[in-house]
Amino acid sequence: MNFDYTPDQRRWRDAAREFAEAEIFPVAARLDKEQKFPYEIVAKMCDLGFMGLTVPEEYGGTECDFVAYNLALEEISRADTSVGITMEAHVSLGCAPLLAYGTKEQKEHYLGEVIRGGEKLWAFGLTEENAGTDAGGTETTADLQNGEWLVNGEKKWITNSGTDITGGVTVIAKTGERENGKPELTAIIIEQDTPGFTRGPGYEKTGWRASDQRQLYFRDVRVPEKNTLGARGKGFRQFLSTLDAGRVAVGALSVGLAQACLDEALKRAKERRQFGRSISEFQAIQFKLADMAMEVELARNMVLKAAWLKDRGRPFGREASMAKVFASETAKRAADQAVQVWGGEGFMETSNVARYWRQVKINEIGEGTSEINRQIIARSLLSDEPATAAKQKMLAQ
């Protein structure tokens, strides 16, 4: 086994680390406090190629492998998870389905505008009040009438959907009923300025406060049939595949946050003195640091293994769920221990660890809750099937 990164992977990791330390970390606390979307940072990330890391060069992307993308995402998230989730949602949820299922015309038009132009973000609309984990509960409908989809419904918690630079959203909608009585789900591309498509205000959140999530409304929205992404009725399989890759990326985001917690705990342990010596000399503190370091390393390895499997075209659904659960829960434990090491100062909003502690919980919820991912892992083990197949059976029940 070779654990060395390729030159290209190291290049993207190092470039992301350098950018994050110089451009993101110094302003992360202010962006969080002001709840401002980081337009200037995103523009620079577009210019540097971070927002098109997995997109082929023919569509304006930088075409790195999935491992390199996750290494870069970890470094960006280490500086600020608000910027990290903006990057992750755009690349893994916005661009990836267009790249995987779009026609050549759709890829040239939408990815060309989003990536080559460097001026747009793209969103992915799955979650609703009664749908998300249970995609079969999707209530947004799309009826085909005279060569046009008539879309009605609502989505919620959709990242990158309401910024000044959002180009549009790929929506999962119910387009009929299958023979077994289950809903037929189809992915449909809806551009931002389409009549009848409106957006609610940004949410007031505990974490990810400098990123954009909001509710979407579709009232008799008409889009041409050619805006169907992939084949009609294949939306279920499409979003399953999309979420598998997205879970790996959220795992990388969580590793970045966990590493940031360890960074702050190490810094505080070396600087603070009690009983005439550095608190880093006390075994209780050393054990906390050791446990944090072990879990961060294990989480990173799990994320990169899942990414490596994907790069080689091998099944990775089970590993994606494992990486996402372990990394997100590692980040939660790391944030809790970082606050403990900082003591009373860690309870103050003036500290970075207080912000990390607020940010960490959503990682256990977004892109599949820890509970649904544990079910996916367990069913794949019990059925001795790849996780994706087991997941399809579970969600189709």
Tokens representing 119?
Answer: 């001026």
* Residue pair 117/145 in contact by the 8 Å Cβ criterion: no
Tokens 């009690």 appear where?
A: 274
- Note whether 78 and 264 are within 8 A (CB): no
Catalytic entry in 74, 367, 371, 385? 367
Question: Cβ distance 235 to 187 under 8 Å?
Answer: yes
25-34 vs 81-88: helix crossing angle, rounded to 10: 90
The first and second tokens of residue 36, run together, are 């401002």
Q: Can you tell me the distance from the alpha carbon of 356 to that of 333, in angstroms, rounded to the nearest whole number?
A: 11
Query: Which residues are paired to 174 by β-bridges?
Result: 141, 185
Return the H-helix or E-strand segment holding 319. helix 317-342
Q: Round to whole Å and give the CA distance between 270 and 278.
A: 6
Between the CA of residue 67 and those of 108, 305, 312, 339, 378, what are the distances in Å?
A: 25, 9, 11, 31, 26
Which DSSP helix (H) or strand (E) runs through 310?
helix 283-311
Question: What tokens does 32 get?
Answer: 């969080």
**Residue 158 burial (CB count, 10 A):** 25
SS3 158: strand
Task: Let me know: does 197 contact 218? Beta carbons within 8 Å.
Answer: yes
CA 171 to chain centre: 17
In total, the chain counts a number of residues equal to 397
Q: Is 74 a catalytic residue?
A: no
Nearest to 50 by CA among 32, 30, 76, 85: 76
Point out the residues that are catalytic. 367
